[in-house]
Copies of this chain bind each other. A is one copy, B any other.
Amino acid sequence: MGAENCLTGIRVLDLTQFEAGPSCTEVLAWLGAEVVKLENPKSGDPGRQINNPDGADAHYFLQYNANKKSITVDLKSPRGLALAKDLAAHADVFIENFAPGAIERLGLGPDVIRTLNPAIIYAQVKGFGTGSPFEKNLAFDMIAQACGGTMSVTGDADGPPIKPGATIGDTGTGMLMAISVLGALHRRTRTGEGEHLQVAMQDAMFQYIRGAFARQTSTGKAAQRAGNGSVMSRNPPMGIYPCLGGGPNDYVYVYTSRANPEHWRRLLGVIGREELIGDPRFETADARRENEAEVDAMVADWTRQHSKQDAMRIIGAAGIPAGAVLDTNELLHDPTFEQRGITQTIQHPKIGPYKMAAFPVRFSGRPAPLHPAPLLGQHTNEVLGEWLGLGSDDVGALRESGVIG
């Protein structure tokens, strides 16, 4: 990172909740924007309550709200609503992901805010697109993954669809909106123009399964589930193989590329079956498809004698793509991520030390700095002062009248 962060000086008024919106604004915060969560004084972003420990903010909330500020404003009160508009007038970006129609009913819809502040980037994340037959429907990550195709291509070929455990519907969508906000900001620097951005979680899923769409157009049929293979092609050995330990994630992924016949020959060397190099039963990808069970068995005979970490190390060092199936416990406690700043430990004022993943991209060798998610209303005085010039008397009066928390 240079002497200053990328988005220093950019103000984001953040009315998002749960994950799809917060994951977007968190990236902007990591890149240095001043992201101010405007929350209801009662309980704030409902993400604060998801499996929360002892009344403190949920770990879930900490993940998606790092580096942000929080102010509490009662939007049901006329003075609170006016305050939100004042803040929007001083912001560069306004973003929300309420249920369809809610922000307009509140009186903070795009027409209102863009009239107040024509240069603002006004961003909305919904489940379904404006103009979709389902535009009024509620959505969560799993609904987007069902309707957007990611489930249809995940799972075993002869089993039911499986929802990817990765929250592509939420964070996958949030990342596309972050890109768009940054694009619109770039243009605004040049032209002064604001923008109205909208993304639907269902639509965003297309972006992440375009290999499957390629398969669709090549075959004219729906892309099928391929288990641990690829929707694009079957190319054994390609998939997970069981390792020592026998635990739920004691597997190593081995991939031999069709484009590089050396992968297979090198693998035969690793597993001590050099005598099969050049054997026509296994030499080409097509031959190995015909003898897939035998191929898989000989690879598994070797992997079963090694831990997944050893298998990854040995196979990888031989120049064959290989990866241990690592779980969250292994990843979080692997010191090499901490050494590189991919995971960092924050000091949360209520929860204490909390280790979490930072933004994984490195800027001049360093990841973005990580700060804990804000307590509800932690920055109300500061933001009302800095953005609107309100003094402590003004803020005190607002607090007494219940307009702010």
Identical chains in the assembly: 2
A180-223 residues at the B interface, CB under 8 angstroms: 180, 182-187, 189-191, 193, 195-200, 202-218, 221-223
Residues of B within 8 A of A166 (CB): 150, 153-154, 164, 166, 168, 172, 205, 208-209
Residues of B within 8 A of A324 (CB): 146-147
A-B contact pairs, 15 of them (CB 8 A): A7-B186, A31-B180, A64-B210, A130-B365, A160-B228, A163-B228, A166-B166, A168-B172, A196-B365, A198-B361, A200-B360, A206-B343, A209-B328, A210-B356, A213-B357
Residues of B within 8 A of A189 (CB): 186, 189
Q: Which residue of B lies closest to A167 (CB)?
A: B211
Which residue of the partner chain, among B19, B193, B317, contacts A211 with CB atoms under 8 Å? B19
Least CB distance, A87 to chain B, in whole angstroms: 22
Q: A117-161: contact bitstring with B at CB < 8 Å (1 yes, 0 no)?
A: 000000000000111111001111011111111111111100011
Are the CB atoms of A179 and B183 closer together than 8 Å? no
Q: Which of A46-54, A380-388, A391-399 contacts B (4 or more CB under 8 A)?
A: A46-54
Residues of B within 8 A of A193 (CB): 2-3
Q: Which of A73-81, A248-256, A273-281, A282-290 contacts B (4 or more CB under 8 A)?
A: A248-256
Are the CB atoms of A63 and B210 closer together than 8 Å? yes
| For the complex of A and B, 9 pairs with smallest distance between CB atoms | A153-B165, A164-B164, A6-B183, A146-B323, A182-B182, A146-B253, A222-B327, A206-B357, A222-B329
Q: How far is the CA of A178 from the CA of B227 in the complex (A)?
A: 29
Q: Which of A62, A210, A354 has the most CB of B within 10 A?
A: A210
Least CB distance, A125 to chain B, in whole angstroms: 10
Q: Does A226 interact with chain B (Cβ within 8 Å)?
A: yes
Are the CB atoms of A177 and B326 closer together than 8 Å? no
Q: Which residue of B lies closest to A168 (CB)?
A: B166
Are the CB atoms of A328 and B215 closer together than 8 Å? yes
Contact A176:B137 (CB < 8 A) given known A186-B185, A253-B143, A328-B153: no
Q: How far is the CA of A99 from the CA of B342 in the complex (A)?
A: 21
Residues of B within 8 A of A316 (CB): 134, 137-138
Residues of B within 8 A of A131 (CB): 336, 339-340
Interface residues on A, range: 35 or more
Residues of B within 8 A of A326 (CB): 146-149, 152
Q: Which of A34-42, A230-238, A295-303 contacts B (4 or more CB under 8 A)?
A: A230-238
Q: Which of A195, A322, A327 has the most CB of B within 10 A?
A: A327
Q: How far is the CA of A263 from the CA of B356 in the complex (A)?
A: 33
Least CB distance, A198 to chain B, in whole angstroms: 5
Residues of B within 8 A of A356 (CB): 210, 213, 217
Q: Does A27 interact with chain B (Cβ within 8 Å)?
A: yes
Residues of B within 8 A of A155 (CB): 155, 162, 165
Are the CB atoms of B143 and A255 closer together than 8 Å? yes
Q: How far is the CA of A205 from the CA of B198 in the complex (A)?
A: 25
Which residue of the partner chain, among B142, B215, B357, contacts A210 with CB atoms under 8 Å? B357
Least CB distance, A250 to chain B, in whole angstroms: 10
Q: Does A331 interact with chain B (Cβ within 8 Å)?
A: yes
Q: Which residue of B lies closest to A61 (CB)?
A: B214
Contact A182:B176 (CB < 8 A) given known A143-B255, A230-B142: no
Q: How far is the CA of A146 from the CA of B250 in the complex (A)?
A: 11
Residues of B within 8 A of A238 (CB): 142
